[in-house]
């Protein structure tokens, strides 16, 4: 019985700690120490789906290998801070840089710029259009609407101009900020936009993005 209890404890410990997630709490304020609400929290370049509340506070789970916490506000722009397994972090926005301000309400992507040696925010360029064609599958939609992407008869996707590594040619799929193994389940009518990332933009996803990245945003 003692051995069984010990094994159960070990298994529970593995489940609880195996994912390597830390809980981070923080606060975002402006240069007058006033809370900044609705600031989005990005883990490296991936949106965590967490935003600050009216008091400027946030709480987010951090997976392993996250190195930078990025905070984006429509009003103030982007703040970046290295993450070293802290439990609490504070962010203070200075006066907004109007020259780099993105139009409020625009879809924003966060990516690491090698030339500037920092994370930058920019308005997403999407492949959405106003055509009313009906697509049976997400693969038909990509085949018919997304430039620079090849979709084979068996629905294998390849981004043109990207060299394959380890004989794996398919890109990384990111749906609503989450990395997924496939996109079979996506209904074309629910798609808001599709973006194709390669080169410097895809490098924000590390080796996972070496074959390019297809970012899909759905209608919520």
| 55 lies in some domain | yes
pTM of the entire predicted model: 0.53
CA angle 144, 150, 154 (to 5 degrees): 90
Asked if residue 25 belongs to a domain, the reply is: yes
Does residue 146 sit within a domain? yes
Give start and end residues of each alpha helix (H) in the chain: 2-17, 138-145
Domain that holds residue 199: 138-218
| Whether residue 208 sits in one domain with residue 168 | yes
What single DSSP character describes residue 184?
T
Q: Let me know whether 21 and 115 are in one domain.
A: yes
Q: Could you tell me the pLDDT band of residue 6, with boundaries at 50, 70 and 90?
A: very low
Instruction: State how many domains the chain has.
Output: 2
- In this prediction, residue 13 carries a pLDDT of 44
Residue 128 located in a structural domain: no
Model pLDDT, residue 103? 60
- Specify whether 167 is located in the same domain as 76: no
103 & 177 share domain: no
User: For the domain that residue 29 is a member of, what is the CATH number?
Assistant: 2.60.40.1120
Please indicate, yes or no, if residue 130 is contained in any of the structural domains: no
- Looking at residue 20, its pLDDT comes to 56
**How much is the pLDDT for 111?**
77
Domain boundary among 123, 158, 174: 123
Average pLDDT, the chain: 79
Identify the domain boundary among 123, 147, 164: 123
Is the same domain home to 154 and 49? no
| Tens-place pLDDT, residues 181-196 | 899 999 888 888 888 8
**pLDDT higher at 215 or 164:** 215
Read off the pLDDT of residues 121-163 as tens digits, 9 standing for 90 and up: 876 545 554 454 678 899 988 887 787 888 888 888 988 876 5
Report how far residue 150's alpha carbon sits from residue 162's, in angstroms, rounded to the nearest whole number: 11
In 3-state terms the chain splits into helix, strand, coil percentages (rounded to 5) of: 15, 35, 45
Residue 132 domain flag: no
Distance from C-alpha of 108 to C-alpha of 98, rounded to nearest angstrom: 16
Mean pLDDT for 14-38 is 79
């Amino acid at each position: 019985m003692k051995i069984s209890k010990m094994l159960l404890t070990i298994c529970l410990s593995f489940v609880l700690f195996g994912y390597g997630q830390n809980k981070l709490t923080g606060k975002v304020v402006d240069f007058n120490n006033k809370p900044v609400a609705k600031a989005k929290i990005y883990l490296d370049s991936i949106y965590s789906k967490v935003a600050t509340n009216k008091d400027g506070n946030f709480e987010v789970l951090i997976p392993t290998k996250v190195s930078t916490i990025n905070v984006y506000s429509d009003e103030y722009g982007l703040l970046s801070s290295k993450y070293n397994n802290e439990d609490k972090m504070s962010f203070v926005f200075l006066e907004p840089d109007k020259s780099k301000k993105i139009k409020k309400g625009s879809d924003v992507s966060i990516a690491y710029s090698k030339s500037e040696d920092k994370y930058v925010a920019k308005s997403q360029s999407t492949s959405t259009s106003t055509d009313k064609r009906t697509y049976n599958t997400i693969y038909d939609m990509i085949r018919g609407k997304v430039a620079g992407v090849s979709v084979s008869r068996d629905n294998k996707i390849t981004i043109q101009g990207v060299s394959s590594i380890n004989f794996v040619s398919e890109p990384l799929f990111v749906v609503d900020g989450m990395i997924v193994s496939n996109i079979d389940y996506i209904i074309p009518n629910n798609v808001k936009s599709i973006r194709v990332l390669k080169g410097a933009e895809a490098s924000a996803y590390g080796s996972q993005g070496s074959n390019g990245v297809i970012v899909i945003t759905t209608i919520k």
